[in-house]
Structure formats: C-alpha cells, structure tokens
Structure 1
Amino acid sequence: MLRAYKTEIHPTEEQKKKINQSIGVCRWLYNQYLAKNQELYKQFKEDLISKKEAMLSANNFDKYINNEVKVLEEYNWINLCGSKARKKAICNAETAYKRFFTGKSKFPRFKKKNKSDVKLYFPKNNLTDWKIERHRINIPTLKWIRIKEFGYIPINSKVVSGTVSKKADRYFVSVIVEEKLTIENKSYTEGIGIDLGLKEFAVISNGIHKKNINKTANVKEIEKKLKREQRKLSRKYESLKLRNKKEKGEATRQNIQKQIVKVQRVHQRLSNIRTDYINKTINEIVKQKPSYITIEDLNVRGMIKNKHLSKAVAQQKFYEFRVKLEYKCKLNEIELRIVDRFYPSSKTCSCCGAYKKDLKLSDRIYKCSNCNASIDRDYNASINLENAKIYEVA
C-alpha cells in the first residue's frame, strides 16, 4: 500500500531561493489558469460560446504557456520552475475548476502570495531521484537536502513521488512510498460509537471522554499571543500609511514581512497542537481493536454558518478527524460505519428506545420520561451510535 511521510528539511540559502522561485511560478500558473477559465465562463453566460468551449483543459493551457507565453523574453522566469511541477499546478487548478463547473462547489479561490499553501511536485523519473539516507534526501532538481528528523523516512522504501512546501518560513518534504501491509494480532473487541461535540471533543460508548483541547490553558495562552502579534501587524500597516513612503517605506515593509512570519508561526503552532491531539486520540481508539467504529455524518458546513459556534466548530477539525480515522480503520481492517446526520442519536433513550422530541441543546443530562433513566447527553448519543442498525460502511 501507499503511505505518506512528511518532515521538515533544512535547505541551503541557494536551495531556499530556488524553492521560493518555483513556488511563485506555480502560484502564478494556478491563478492564470483560473483567470483564463473565468473569462471563458463569463462568455458562456453571455451566450457568446458553447458550454464545451467554456472550459480550457490543463493540457491545452500548458501548450498555450509553452508555445505562446514562455517564448516571450518578459516571461523567461517561468523556466526557473521544473516542467513537472508546473504541469501539476495546472492540473490542480483544473481539478478545482471542474468541481465548480459541475456544480459541486463554488469558484476556487486565487492563491495569494505568502498566504496560500502551494506545493512543488516532483515525480520519480530516474533511479537517483528521491534517494533517501538517514539524515538527508535527494530531491529532483534540488539535490541533497538535510532532514530534521533523522531516520524518520524508511531508507529502503520505494518512493513513488513527493512534494516540497513552505509554511511559516519553514520548509517541508512529503514523500509517498510503497510499503507492505502487515497486521498483527487480529483479536477484536466489541464495537464502539463515537459522538463528537464542542463541550468535549469525543465521547466514546465504552466510557472514555476526550476533552476539548481548545479549552486548555496552554491553547488559550497561545491564542492570546496570536491576538497580540496580529495587533502588532495591524499597527505596522497603519503606520505605513501615515509615514512618508519615500523615506522609511522600505524599512517598514521589511518589518511588516517579519511580523507576518511571526503571526504565521503562532498559527502553525496552534494547528500542530490540534492535529497532534487528533492523531493521539485516533491512535488510542484504534489500539483498543474494536470490531467496528460508528460515527455520525456531521453537517460541518451547516454548523459553521452559525456565527456563535463557527470558530469553535472550525477549531475542532471534525473533517480531519474523520479522514484520518478512515485511513487508520482501513490500515487495521476495522469497519467504519457512518450513520446519517438526521439519525436522532441524542434524542433517543439508550435504555428503552423512547424518543424525546423536546430535547434542547442546553439539556446536558438526558432524562427519559418513559423509563426514568438519567444519563449524560453525549454518552447516551455514543451508545445509540454503537447500536445503530442503519448505516453506511466508509
């Protein structure tokens, strides 16, 4: 099976310059593809062209760049990026635009400089490409780069492809390798149900409660620091408007760029804490070796529309939890059951099966009027998810 490994790298100044230039080229090509198709789509809406002509394919756009744009002297900088990375950026833009063109999503966003996550794609074309040693890795066109975590990527593994990315002034490499799947000790226990929420991150039907990491003192202190750094950045922008741009403009812009990196680092630290907590929670669940796991198909997009809960819902990373849980369940041959989002897991009594229609969101204890049972609302929902009979297998 294919498995991904991501770790930080320490490139030289020359390699950093090449990575930054290549990321800039890929970002420009991504935006140009969207802009070109946006013009065609407007012409289609005005009945000037047919629907087939309203979408430019990635291959045709790549030919247009190679034959008409790149030959011009003012666009020679496009050659600073490898051809495979350029083609992959255009293909990513095509995938995003197809989702909009078929009505599955909104029009994709244009990638902004220093704000959007742009990755450089490098396939393995030669035997010397993606050669891995304990402390360094050979990336195509970039050559040998030192790895931060020694021995993290398996040395004897077969690399299929990889990407290089930059985030908060730090550089990362992600490689996809082929590995043999080995499962040890297939002794499974009973199935479990998991109810995700905001008060507590996850309540499991076997009695385990996973706290909300965003309510801890450590995360709250970092969020306060983020506010302070964002306030400093905002004041620097305001001072740039008031000062004389000719005298102190360049120095002010350099200070703004330094402050942007500080804000990005705090954002990344918060993201790393939440992702690490999700990974540890999933690992703890899978180690119990349940015969099946049942979760609810949450309407995260609808929950985020609530202005009072949108920030709290986004911080919980429910979608990331589900994606990683699916991967771990397939890896360990555990059946993952997805229950419909309209299943009344919270309003149904887990003891007698009675339905309580007037249950409010503020009622944290479920009190059944039929059997007089009194149970925690989230724990009651997790038991109902475990016993659900109608579900889909992920």
Structure 2
Amino acid sequence: MLKAYKYRLYPNKNHEEMISQHIGASRFIYNWALENKIKSYEAEGNSISRFALNKMIPELKIEHVWLKNINSQSLQGATLNLDNAFTKFFREKKGFPKFKSRKNPVQSFSVPQHYKVDFENNKIKLPKIGWINAKLHRRYEGKEKTATVSRTSTGKYYISILIDDEKENPVNKSFNIDTTVGVDVGIKDFAITSIGEKIDNPKYLKNSMKRMKVLQKRLSKKKKGSANRQRAKVAVAKLYEKIANQRNDFQHKLSSKLISENQAVALETLNVSGMLKNHCLTQSIADASWSSFVKKLEYKAEWYGKTILRIGRFEPSTKICNVCGYHNGKLTLTDRKWQCPDCKTNHDRDINAAINIKKFALDKQNLIGI
C-alpha cells in the first residue's frame, strides 16, 4: 500500500538558493518537454516518448550549462510528471497539460531516489543540496519511493515522501443496512447523515472575507515590483493558506469519523463543475470543497477496508418520500421542510435526502431489508 508522509523543511540561505535552482530547472525541462511533444505531434502525428526526451537532456546541458548543477534524476522526474499529465488527459478527456509558470502559488521538484532521512537528528539529505533541518514528526516503515520538495507562496518548504509499506490493501469488510450511513453534502450544513446528524458548515472563507478584502485592498495600492507590494502579497497568501489548513483539518477529522464508525458510506455523485456555473453559489460551493472531502473519504476507506457507495447524479433523492416513495415534483430549493401528501410524514429536506441516498445505494447492492 502506498502512503505519503509530509514534513516541514527549514533550509538555510544556501539551501533555499539550491532549491530555487532545482525548481526552476524542473519547470524549464517540463516546458521544454511539453513544447517538443506538441511539435512532434504536429509534424509527425506521434508524440515523442519520455525516454527519447531523457536522452536529449545531456545535449540540452551543453547549451544550458547551469543545468549541470541540478540533480539529473530531478530533471528526468519532470518528464515523468509530464507523461503522467498526458496519461490523465487521455484517460479523462479533459485538462490538456499546460506550460508551467513561475507565478504558480506552489512550486516543486521531485527526487526519485538517493535522498536520506535521519529521524534521530531531524534532518533530510537531498542530492546536490545537502542536509536540511526538518520536523520529522512521524516515523514510517517501508520502501522509500519518490520524494517531492515544494515551496508555498508564503515561503514555506515541505517534502512529501511516498512510502510503499509492501502490505496488501485490506479486504473490504461486509456491510448491511445497519452499518451503512448515507451522507448528503450541502451549503447551509456541510454534511447531513441518514441518522439525522447535521454537521455545521464552518465557512472558513466567508468568515475571513472581511479581513481578506482589507489585505487585497492594501495589495492593490502598492507599487508593482516594490518590496511593500511583495510583503502585502505574502500577507494575502498567508491568509489563504490559513483558510486551506482550517478546511483540511475539518475535513480530515470528519472523514476519519465517518470511516471509523461505519462499514460503508453512501454518497451522491455531484456535478461540482456544473454547479460552479451558478454565480450566486460559486463562492459557497468552492468554500465547502466537496470534491476534496470525497477524495479523503475514498482513500481512507481504501486504507481501512471500508466501502464507498455511490448513486447517480440524477437520482431524485431530495424529492422522494423515504417512507412511502411519493415523488414531490413541486419541491423547490427554498423548501427546507415538507409534508408527504400520501403518508403525511413531515420531512426535513436534507435528512430525507441522506436517507434516500443510503436506500438507493443499498438497493443497487441488493441489501435492502437485510
């Protein structure tokens, strides 16, 4: 099983300079490789392979001498990342690889091997860079794979180490109607479960918007290229980073709770990209970050042998009475509570949807009534 461990790095000035050179070189090779792939496809109808590109890198070093100071495997890692980007593009039919910019908020480069981790002294050695102080707060066991060194827009440095613990993924545990929970995500409440529990939406972005506007207004008044503008830019980035950290912490805790307490979690497939086109709700939907939450549920379920069940995006989970099955076609988004005309059951819109998500998911598994 593959797991990633992320640690904070504390480089000195020389380390920072070398890391910047590696980041710039990896970005240069990525863009160079992308340009060559596009040109070869336009000229011959076939895209040049990663291995052919790697063979061209030594010649590139003659033209650009500064590339000789960079770990050669990190340069080859850039072509591997591009190859993975094209694989994702052809698999999902969207997101054609783009040229990387130095203005991207997070910059990184990969270290495929030959790095060393010293847990006793809290240091990590990187090829061509040397030993760097780190906060190694968690130990790991297993085979070390590729490490990725990143720099955030606030000037913080991290290393993410991919570990293969050489263990098989646990077999999914059996589940039934009693050990399955349905979860409906929303804006007013972040998540509503089929047992009637409502988890408040913390709305970290909305709650920080007043401060954000002040910082962005200060930034807009600073002269471009000045040191004051750079400081104001970092202040905005720090607030965005704080919001992201708060959101991740909240989602990690909630996803861990749902996975640990249930054998299966039933979810609705949402068209988030389509929902973001509603300009009245764009900010609220982005603040909730449902896609990130679902990803956390998925990989944690895989870790612990739990099951994620899904229903189609067009299933009328909200408009169907979970007691008698009556379809209330007149229900609108403003109706938070409604009464079933047939069985007279009073429904909370979101709890009813969560119960139906669970029922629909189990029905597809032929587990209703078990």
**Helix, strand or coil at the partner of 1:370:** coil
Per-residue displacement from partner, 1:14-67 (whole Å, max 9, x unpaired)?
Answer: 1111111111111122222333344455xx4xxxx4422xx2322223333322
Within the alignment, does 1:226 sit opposite 2:226 as a pair?
no
Which of 95, 112, 118 lines up with 2:84 in the alignment?
95
Asked whether the 8 Å contact 1:58–1:94 carries over to 2, the reply is yes
Q: CA deviation at 1:259?
A: 2.4
**Helix, strand or coil at the partner of 1:193:** strand
- The CA distance in 2 between the partners of 1:37 and 1:187, in whole Å, is 47
Q: How does 1:193-342 map to 2 (within 5 A)?
A: 193-214=182-203, 219-236=205-222, 239-240=223-224, 252-288=225-261, 290-342=262-314
Asked whether the 8 Å contact 2:190–2:200 carries over to 1, the reply is yes
Q: CA, structure 1 residues 182+338, in 2 after alignment: closer, same or farther (shift >3 Å)?
A: closer
Q: CA deviation at 1:109?
A: 2.9
Which of 62, 66, 74 lines up with 1:71 in the alignment?
62
Tell me which amino acid in the other structure corresponds to 1:137: I
Q: CA deviation at 1:5?
A: 1.1
* 1:51 counterpart residue number: 45
More deviation, 364-373/110-119: 110-119
* 1:176 counterpart residue number: 162
* 1:245 counterpart residue number: none
Tell me which amino acid in the other structure corresponds to 1:293: V
**Helix, strand or coil at the partner of 1:213:** coil
Q: CA, structure 1 residues 338+156, in 2 after alignment: closer, same or farther (shift >3 Å)?
A: closer
- The CA distance in 1 between the partners of 2:349 and 2:110, in whole Å, is 47
- The CA distance in 2 between the partners of 1:387 and 1:100, in whole Å, is 35
Within the alignment, does 1:359 sit opposite 2:331 as a pair?
yes
Within the alignment, does 1:113 sit opposite 2:105 as a pair?
no
Q: CA deviation at 1:220?
A: 4.0
**Helix, strand or coil at the partner of 1:387:** helix
Which of 343, 362, 365 lines up with 2:315 in the alignment?
343
* 1:8 counterpart residue number: 8
Asked whether the 8 Å contact 1:130–1:140 carries over to 2, the reply is no
Q: CA deviation at 1:157?
A: 4.9
Tell me which amino acid in the other structure corresponds to 1:70: K
Per-residue displacement from partner, 1:79-108 (whole Å, max 9, x unpaired)?
Answer: 232111111112222332455467711433
**Helix, strand or coil at the partner of 1:314:** helix
Within the alignment, does 1:146 sit opposite 2:130 as a pair?
no
- The CA distance in 1 between the partners of 2:14 and 2:245, in whole Å, is 28
More deviation, 29-38/291-300: 29-38
Q: How does 1:149-168 map to 2 (within 5 A)?
A: 150=136, 152-154=137-139, 157-167=142-152, 168=154
Q: CA, structure 1 residues 260+39, in 2 after alignment: closer, same or farther (shift >3 Å)?
A: farther
Structure 1 length normalisation: TM-score? Answer: 0.83
- The CA distance in 2 between the partners of 1:40 and 1:182, in whole Å, is 41
Q: CA, structure 1 residues 57+233, in 2 after alignment: closer, same or farther (shift >3 Å)?
A: farther
Asked whether the 8 Å contact 1:124–1:130 carries over to 2, the reply is no
- The CA distance in 2 between the partners of 1:391 and 1:314, in whole Å, is 32
Q: CA deviation at 1:275?
A: 0.8
In structure 1, the gaps of 5 or more residues are: 241-251
Tell me which amino acid in the other structure corresponds to 1:281: L
Asked whether the 8 Å contact 1:123–1:160 carries over to 2, the reply is yes
**Helix, strand or coil at the partner of 1:105:** coil
Asked whether the 8 Å contact 1:329–1:336 carries over to 2, the reply is yes
Asked whether the 8 Å contact 1:350–1:380 carries over to 2, the reply is yes
In structure 2, the gaps of 5 or more residues are: none
Aligned length: 358
**Helix, strand or coil at the partner of 2:116:** coil
Q: CA deviation at 1:280?
A: 0.9
- The CA distance in 2 between the partners of 1:5 and 1:100, in whole Å, is 27
Q: CA, structure 1 residues 40+309, in 2 after alignment: closer, same or farther (shift >3 Å)?
A: farther
% of aligned pairs identical?
A: 30
* 2:119 counterpart residue number: 132
Q: CA deviation at 1:221?
A: 4.7
- The CA distance in 2 between the partners of 1:108 and 1:86, in whole Å, is 18
Tell me which amino acid in the other structure corresponds to 1:56: I
**What is the Cα-based RMSD across aligned positions, in Å?**
2.6
Asked whether the 8 Å contact 1:130–1:139 carries over to 2, the reply is no
